[in-house]
Structure 1
Amino acid sequence: MAPKLNCVRLELNYPLYASDFDPRDASRLVVGGGGGSSRFGATNKITVLHLSPDDDDIQVAGELQFSSDDDSVMSLAVGPVMVLDVKGKGVKGAKGAKGTKGVKGVKGAKGTKGAKGVEEPQETFAVLAGVNENTVSADENNHLRVLAVTPEVSRSKATKDDSEPSSETIKVSIRQCAQKRTFENADANAYQRLLRVKGHFAAAASAMGSHHEHSVMKLVNGRPANCVNPVTKEDIEDLDLWALDADNLQLVYCYRDRLEMTNFNLDTLEAPKPLVVYNCKDDGFAFRAVRYLTSHFALCVGNLPRRSGVVIQAYRLPLADKKGSLAKLAIKARISRNISATALAVTSLTPGCDCMDNNTQEGDAQFIIAIAGSDSSIHLFTLEYRKHHPLHLLSHLKPLCTLENVFDGANISGLSFSTFVHPTTHMRVQSVRLASTALTGAVAVHTIPLKKAMDWNLDRDKGPARAIRYSVAMRSRLPSSWPLLTTLALIFLLMAIVWQGVMEVYGQREPIIFAQRFLPSWHGTLRAPDGLPGIFSHKGVVSHEDERSRFMSKILGDAPLVEPAGRVIVFESSDEYSSADGEQQQPSNIRADLHDEAVHGPAQTWEQLGEEQKVIWRQRLREAGAWTQGMGESVFKGILFGQIAGAIGNAVAA
């Protein structure tokens, strides 16, 4: 049974398409969406949500509504901290939305009765969003919006009579401070589907247009500055970026059938030729999402045909300056369910292992991977990363848990993890948050508890004896083998029961399950006649009674013979005759019947026969297939033999 994670939910009044946590504050979540350019549908908004420290409440801290002529918010990302001008003058909101005044002394929240509000302004940060402008038809689509978000924390003192205790209200003011067109080719059908921000770099990609573009830009005070616009032959499925230094970055992006990588220098503003590092045409799946793990590894998620499952693969990336090098598969896993992946989110629990400086302290790290399925489920995995210079290894890609039916069957439109900040003290229980959004306007935030993990393999001479890091408190497990073993055991047991039943029916085993009672009454038994061995018996040792019974059965054939007090006679006959019970018999050479002297004439035992008669009888019985040399003559004891024609003729001639 999957462990239960603490979850808080909130319903908004517009469809949600994108979400992102503030990397500096895990309690601040930004979501966006809308109903598109329509005056009668849902509004187009960006909402900032605040999560309580105990993860038991989520509330709206502020929101910005765009014009009904603008398109919905299709992508967003939280950017770096912004520095406002000296006057603190704000910029009016988007056309059709109410402008917000600047930050010249943020107005304190109204205190409770008998108390005065206390205002504490905090630093402003940027939020980048992809919103098509209402002038897109005029080739002036400034689709990239830059919003300035300023938190305002207002505390109210308790009343004198303590009728109302002190409280804290967290609100934010949101205003649009810039908008820019980063795609060179304007198209009324194109929109900014992808947007990723890391540090002071950002990357965006278009979709549904006649020109397939993606742009890479540097952010100066939260606003896009230097921009490079490569053109591709098809739309990009997903992308991610990695900062190399202050002016250089690496971009990895995937199409449905291949993975490409490019290094950009934003000083030269040149679009270098991409490097194809992996091709999955022959692997039977299509890429859906990609994320950097470290500068050496990228994680990709692919969908199998006809929603038959999801493939998770991590690749070791080649060096960009080595042309012709390909990415190598480092580790893989699979979700064997009838789903397809719709979103991907990855976070590291060890700050510094994936930072810009590649020469950071060596140590282990754990990544949490979240994959949204088309059945409204979220699959969580953990991945271990080991960095021991110069080795970088990935291991133990294991399932953590599965969150079933998160939004009651509604499609999950986005996933995002909060950034885990290493605490200065280790007294409190640490956690990381996972936010998911749905097209129905629902927001769900799950809390994943963490625990301290020790790295015992660090050298004491090179640093602390034990480096404290964090990992998921729950235990990741590979899929259990018990269902397979149980199924195989049941199959083996069923086959054993069937075999025992067959052997009982053939009389080769002692009755245990009494299979004979399950046969119809007319079926009888499959065993040989009483006293005769079954068809599966060992033929090496045969008793005298068995040989005699076999001899008699071959003479009698299918004719029944009820043996009263009389004795059996074997005789030769070529004409139709009447047996002792009066039944008419058909002509045959060798026959057996109950001895009746009036019918069969005189008879003799085998010992009373002459040697010549014995030779003739042995020959006739052998020709009739009733006797073989291996049976011996002991089978003739107790049987009477009638006169045989050959012996009589020889006697007359003599």
Structure 2
Amino acid sequence: MAPSLHAVKATLTYPLYAADFDPQDNNRLVVGGGGGEGRSGIGNKITVLEFTTTEISTLAELELSRDEDSVTSLAVPLSQSNPHSMRVFAGVNSSLAAKQAGMNKHFRRFTMGYTDGKAKKAMWEVNPPLSLFSPNDEDKEVYQRITRLSPVRREGSANGTETRLAAITTGLSPLGEIVFLNTTQPDIVRGRINLGKFKEAADIDIIESGSREFRVVYCTDHEVYLCTASTKTTPKRRTKPIVPRQVYERLSLVPGKGRPIFRALRFLMPSLVLILSNIPGRSGAELLVLRIEDQDVGRVVLQKRLHNSMKAGAGLDVAILEEGGKDESDGDKQFVIAVAGQDISLEILTLNYSAKGGLGKFSTFSVIRNVHPHQMTKICFSHFIPPLPVPPGSSNVGNNLPKTLKLASVSMGNTVVIHTLQLLPVPLKSRSPRYVLKRPGRSGTAQRLVTILLLLTAALVAIAIQALLEIRGHSTPILGAADRLPHGFHTPLAAKLYVAETDTDNSVQTKKISGIRHLKNLLHRQDEGEQGQPPKTIVIREDDVTEAKVRADVHADEEAVEGAKRWEDLEEHQREGWKSKLAEAGQWAVEEGEAILKGVFFAELGGAIGGAVGA
């Protein structure tokens, strides 16, 4: 049963296309969208929402010009002034007339300040818009498709002076481009990537690799590219274009059926990238984990097909739950993954990483259906800052307080939904636990070891059962257990029909067979025979009527048998008696028929069976 998730929902007055959490307050969400240029009745807005576990309220709202386009993307960097302010970067195209004149000021910056009283009154500052994409006469329809920031640094999140790398990408441009900015000086371009003719970045992500150095990964429909960027670039000289290298290409799964299309990606670690891929023909979506080593091409190390009703993926985001007080590349961590489907569902998964055991396996946490009435346009997680370890002897119990992770989604139907995910401490009673959404199971190595042990145990049990069946005479010899085990082991394991070693005068002519044999087994061996040897004679003797036992001797010739008759030479009442005796001993059944008994000799003591039947 899927875990219950607490959710709150609100409906605004305009379609929503963008969303991001305030890095200083995980209970505050910024959304944007609108009806575009010239659409009567539907404005273009940016709204700051505050929410609790029971409701969503509007903290502030900025109405933009209806003569310009709607908000297509946005991101929230850290505030540079005080905790009662917020900065917003957004993609908003200029009017159609301005674009036709080559004056598309697509990059917008806003600052919101507010008082912290009960009646919070917001004040907006609109900074001058910027045109950062390379000018091109053919770029009349280009817009700012993606606005992406590098993750918040844990040690710099409180002072507001952190430098983050920002990336913006083109959409609907005949010459695709990615532009890099410094969040503290966004009017200065720090680098460019020329994607080429009619190529666009489907998604992009950034991770810090050093002091003000960043690793950037982006994907087109079928390829994944990697490059490095920096916020140290000297702004006074013209920035040289950044040349990325292709690290992976997705080929067709089935010839003639088209190639899978990359929809989104996120860094898990500097060497691991998670990719959302849509299978051709709207036949499903899957997650790929790509490992990228230095100067090597990437290789898929993990793959997961998403739930069957998700015919295509629409969005992806990842929250990284790390240990506090450790370097981001060290320690255990859990990746919480959210995928938005075109079936208006959300699938939440977890993926564990252990410093000792490496990468684990995908585990589905929950599938939430019918999240919105219309298609989702954006999903995002709140920022997770791991708590620092509690020093020995400290009375600080802050780490023991409940921790949560928020997942926001917005739609074209004006709706915003925020799910609250309750995090669990691991270890449970630790003063300095790390937090996870789902308690990790065994590591991949431990799980493989357990699987191997279970398989070996099953194999040994199967061998033991087969050996026991052979010893009891219930199976055709495969292992030869009856011949391999010492005779002393046979008695406690034997069935009611057994072969006794003969101790008669003709014992020289008798081939002694140690162990217990089922009648069918003896007949099978007689049919096979030994090459160059005369056929053996099987004699069944009554051993103990009261215990329903019979004894079988194997002789080298028929003349060595005295007082025994072939089955076909027995009287009818004698046959009935022997059939009853054999059936009672569990060595013959009526449905087997009498044909298997032909040629077998039967000898009885004192005519007990015949007398009993004839009475």
**Per the shorter chain, which TM-score range?**
0.5 to 0.7
Match of 1:133 in 2: 94
Residue 334 in structure 1 maps to residue 298 in structure 2:
no
In structure 2, what is the Cα distance between the partners aligned to 1:428 and 1:307? 44
8 Å contact kept, 1:381–1:476:
no
SS in structure 2 of the partner of residue 399 of structure 1: strand
Match of 1:411 in 2: 375
8 Å contact kept, 2:365–2:438:
no
SS in structure 1 of the partner of residue 100 of structure 2: helix
- CA shift at 1:326, angstroms? 0.7
Identity of aligned residues (%): 30
Deviations 1:257-314 (A, max 9, x none): 1111111245163223211111102344211101111212111000011211111011
Q: Supply the AA of the counterpart residue of 2:402.
A: V
In structure 2, what is the Cα distance between the partners aligned to 1:318 and 1:250? 12
Match of 1:173 in 2: 123
Give the one of 154, 168, 176 matched to 1:212.
176
Give the one of 240, 243, 246 matched to 1:270.
240
Residue 194 in structure 1 maps to residue 146 in structure 2:
yes
In structure 1, what is the Cα distance between the partners aligned to 2:215 and 2:119? 41
Match of 2:106 in 1: 143
Deviations 1:24-58 (A, max 9, x none): 21011000000011151411101000012xx1111
| Distance verdict in 2 for CA 1:375–1:189, change over 3 Å | same
Match of 1:293 in 2: 268
Q: Supply the AA of the counterpart residue of 2:133.
A: F
Q: Supply the AA of the counterpart residue of 2:91.
A: G
Q: Supply the AA of the counterpart residue of 1:369.
A: I
In structure 1, what is the Cα distance between the partners aligned to 2:414 and 2:19? 12
| Distance verdict in 2 for CA 1:405–1:466, change over 3 Å | same
SS in structure 2 of the partner of residue 270 of structure 1: coil
- CA shift at 1:421, angstroms? 2.7
| Distance verdict in 2 for CA 1:471–1:232, change over 3 Å | same
TM-score (norm 2): 0.62
8 Å contact kept, 1:264–1:271:
no
Residue 152 in structure 1 maps to residue 115 in structure 2:
yes
Q: How does 1:516-527 map to 2 (within 5 A)?
A: none
Match of 1:56 in 2: 54
In structure 2, what is the Cα distance between the partners aligned to 1:416 and 1:397? 20
| Distance verdict in 2 for CA 1:244–1:473, change over 3 Å | closer
Q: Supply the AA of the counterpart residue of 1:281.
A: L
Deviations 1:568-590 (A, max 9, x none): xxxxxxxxxxxxxxxxxxxxxxx
In structure 1, what is the Cα distance between the partners aligned to 2:230 and 2:423? 38
| Distance verdict in 2 for CA 1:369–1:224, change over 3 Å | farther
Match of 2:426 in 1: 453
- CA shift at 1:227, angstroms? 3.0
Deviations 1:431-484 (A, max 9, x none): 11100001011000011111101299xxxxxxxx9851001157899xxxxxxx
TM-score (norm 1): 0.59
| Distance verdict in 2 for CA 1:130–1:341, change over 3 Å | same
Q: Supply the AA of the counterpart residue of 1:73.
A: V
Match of 2:513 in 1: none
Q: Supply the AA of the counterpart residue of 1:333.
A: K
In structure 2, what is the Cα distance between the partners aligned to 1:476 and 1:360? 22
In structure 2, what is the Cα distance between the partners aligned to 1:382 and 1:224? 38
Match of 2:416 in 1: 443
- CA shift at 1:327, angstroms? 1.1
Residue 248 in structure 1 maps to residue 234 in structure 2:
no
8 Å contact kept, 1:122–1:152:
no
Residue 34 in structure 1 maps to residue 34 in structure 2:
yes
Match of 2:354 in 1: 386
8 Å contact kept, 2:380–2:409:
yes
Q: More displaced, 125-134 or 468-477?
A: 468-477
Match of 1:433 in 2: 406
In structure 2, what is the Cα distance between the partners aligned to 1:253 and 1:236? 6
Give the one of 335, 339, 344 matched to 1:371.
339
- Count of residues paired in the alignment: 405
In structure 1, what is the Cα distance between the partners aligned to 2:323 and 2:19? 22
Residue 317 in structure 1 maps to residue 289 in structure 2:
no
In structure 2, what is the Cα distance between the partners aligned to 1:191 and 1:19? 17
In structure 2, what is the Cα distance between the partners aligned to 1:439 and 1:361? 38
8 Å contact kept, 2:192–2:242:
no
In structure 2, what is the Cα distance between the partners aligned to 1:446 and 1:387? 30
Match of 1:47 in 2: 47
Q: Supply the AA of the counterpart residue of 1:404.
A: R
- CA shift at 1:245, angstroms? 3.4
In structure 1, what is the Cα distance between the partners aligned to 2:87 and 2:377? 22
8 Å contact kept, 1:182–1:229:
no
CA RMSD of aligned residues (A): 2.5
Structure 1: runs of 5 or more not aligned: 84-120, 155-167, 457-464, 478-539, 541-654
SS in structure 1 of the partner of residue 61 of structure 2: strand
Deviations 1:405-453 (A, max 9, x none): 1113x10111010112334613432111100001011000011111101
Structure 2: runs of 5 or more not aligned: 153-163, 254-258, 388-396, 443-522, 524-615
Match of 1:74 in 2: 72
Residue 468 in structure 1 maps to residue 443 in structure 2:
no
In structure 2, what is the Cα distance between the partners aligned to 1:439 and 1:66? 18
Give the one of 321, 338, 341 matched to 1:349.
321
8 Å contact kept, 2:165–2:183:
yes
Match of 1:2 in 2: 2
Q: Supply the AA of the counterpart residue of 2:111.
A: A
In structure 2, what is the Cα distance between the partners aligned to 1:7 and 1:375? 19
Q: Supply the AA of the counterpart residue of 2:308.
A: R
Q: How does 1:527-546 map to 2 (within 5 A)?
A: none
SS in structure 2 of the partner of residue 56 of structure 1: coil
